[in-house]
Every structure is written in structure tokens, then in C-alpha cells.
């Protein structure tokens, strides 16, 4: 997607890599994974770990274009049921699921969830009403949309009290958990209105209800010039 991705693509097997961060894996819950685009590359490892820990996993995997989909078998292995969706557009053909329980949809990921919740995609082996925990990974705009939809268009379906986290893609620099502060992300406590800041490199999985997405969007935009120059 950008210069850092192209840099990663030059790595060879055996090159040293330093990884930061951790995703907490619950046990015995019904977990809803929502991924768009490259977010799916992260979610399939999380989904596998969730299943191994005895969770039920329902996974909405959304793509802008059909050609953006990759590692299909890994995504399938990450979930008890996958709902594949591709955005509307000229000559868009829905994905063909390879497993009987999986579904396909043309439209955005919120529309896919509403269609599933209404029963328009057929049987629901896992009901959205049973979901205890959500993990959302995608663009800041997609995560913001899911944050609000849970209290609006998705409210009739996500009826159980649940907790939602987003994998927050703040710009990062040192990745040393509190040194450069490039990764600061504004949080707002919705009950008290109190604002505070967290280091995203310390923990990317942040409470969706606390993240202030306009602030995240503004911080991400600060890198636009640098990205354009690097792409040149």
C-alpha cells in the first residue's frame, strides 16, 4: 500500500525482524471479527488463536476490490463462519465461498452485517445476538463507522452487552512504548467526557468506544506529504 510495505516486500527468509504488541485472546466467548483490506492479514492469525482457545468465531472479511483478497484458506481456518464481502462497483462479481457455511455479499461491511443479521444471507450458524467481543481492523474511517453503527444500525442485532476493540493504526516511529510519542492517540471517556492520551505502540488493541477517530485521522494525514515524496 505504501513505501513501508514495499520495504517489507524486499525481506528474505532469515532476515531479523523485531515485533511489538500483543492481542489478548479470551476463552469460551463468541467473537466477531471485522476486517477490511489489509486488516484481514492480521485478523486471520488472531482468529486461529481464538479458535484454539475455545472461542466461536464469526468473521466479516471485506475488500474494496475482488483482487485484494488473498490467503483465503488462512481466513477460513480463522473462523467458524466467514462472510466475504466486496464493495459495489461496475462488473463486480460476488466471491464464491468454498465452504457450505460461509456467505457472500456485495456492498460494504456494515451492509453485510445488517444483511446477515436480518437473515437475508440464509442460515445463521452463529447469531450476532450471541456476540461477546468484537475485534475490528481496517482503516480509521471503517473502525469509526463500526464504533457508531453498534449503537445505531447494528443495535437490533448486536443485542448482548459486548466489548469492542480496534487495532489502532497510529503513525509510529520508535516503537519503544513511550519514548518518541509519535504514536499518541486521543481517548475520550464517554461517561465523564475526560480526554487522555495513550501510546499506540504500547497497545494497539484499544477500546473502540474511547478512541477519538477525528484525532487519529488528523494524525495519519500528517504523514501524507512524506508518503507522497517516498512514493515518488
> In the complex, which residues of this chain contact ligand FES (CB under 6 A)?
172-176, 178-183, 199, 201
State the minimum distance, in angstroms, from the CB of residue 215 to ligand FES: 15
Q: Which strands make up the sheet holding 81-86, listed edge to edge?
A: 103-106, 81-86, 56-63, 30-36, 133-137, 163-167, 205-207
The smaller minimum CB distance to ligand FES, of residues 30 and 204, is found at: 204
In Å, how far are 3, 6, 117, 138, 222 from 232, measured between CA atoms? 10, 13, 45, 25, 17
The smaller minimum CB distance to ligand FES, of residues 178 and 214, is found at: 178
The smaller minimum CB distance to ligand FES, of residues 36 and 200, is found at: 200
The smaller minimum CB distance to ligand FES, of residues 183 and 208, is found at: 183
The smaller minimum CB distance to ligand FES, of residues 94 and 171, is found at: 171
Q: Round to whole Å and give the CA distance between 1 and 224.
A: 13
Contacts of 167 (CB under 8 A, 6+ apart): 23, 39, 42, 135, 136, 137, 204, 205
Q: Round to whole Å and give the CA distance between 176 and 205.
A: 16
State the minimum distance, in angstroms, from the CB of residue 207 to ligand FES: 18
Picking from 126, 131, 104, the residue whose alpha carbon sits closest to that of residue 115 is 104
Q: Round to whole Å and give the CA distance between 206 and 183.
A: 13
State the minimum distance, in angstroms, from the CB of residue 184 to ligand FES: 8
State the minimum distance, in angstroms, from the CB of residue 170 to ligand FES: 8
**The C-alpha cell of 119 is what?**
437473515
**The C-alpha cell of 214 is what?**
477525528
State the minimum distance, in angstroms, from the CB of residue 6 to ligand FES: 21
Amino acid at each position: 500500500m505504501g513505501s513501508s510495505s514495499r520495504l517489507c516486500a524486499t525481506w528474505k527468509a532469515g532476515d531479523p525482524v523485531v515485533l511489538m504488541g500483543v492481542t489478548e485472546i479470551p476463552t469460551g466467548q463468541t467473537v466477531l471479527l471485522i476486517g477490511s483490506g489489509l486488516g484481514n492479514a492480521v485478523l486471520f492469525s488472531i482468529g486461529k488463536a481464538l479458535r484454539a482457545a475455545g472461542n466461536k468465531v464469526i468473521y466479516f472479511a471485506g475488500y474494496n476490490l475482488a483482487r485484494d483478497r488473498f490467503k483465503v484458506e488462512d481466513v477460513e481456518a480463522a473462523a467458524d463462519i466467514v462472510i466475504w464481502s466486496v464493495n459495489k462497483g461496475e462488473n463486480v462479481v460476488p466471491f464464491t465461498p468454498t465452504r457450505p457455511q460461509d456467505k457472500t455479499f456485495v456492498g460494504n461491511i456494515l451492509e453485510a452485517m445488517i444483511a446477515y443479521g436480518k437473515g437475508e444471507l440464509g442460515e445463521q450458524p452463529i447469531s450476532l445476538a450471541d456476540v461477546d467481543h468484537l475485534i475490528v481492523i481496517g482503516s480509521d474511517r471503517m473502525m469509526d463507522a463500526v464504533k457508531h453503527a453498534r449503537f445505531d444500525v447494528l443495535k437490533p442485532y448486536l443485542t448482548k452487552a459486548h466489548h469492542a476493540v480496534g487495532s489502532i493504526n497510529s503513525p509510529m516511529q520508535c516503537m519503544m512504548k513511550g519514548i518518541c510519542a509519535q504514536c499518541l492517540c486521543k481517548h475520550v471517556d464517554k461517561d465523564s467526557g475526560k480526554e487522555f492520551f495513550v501510546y499506540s505502540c504500547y497497545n494497539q488493541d484499544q477500546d473502540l468506544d474511547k478512541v477519538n477517530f477525528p484525532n487519529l485521522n488528523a494524525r495519519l494525514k500528517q504523514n501524507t506529504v512524506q508518503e507522497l515524496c517516498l512514493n515518488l
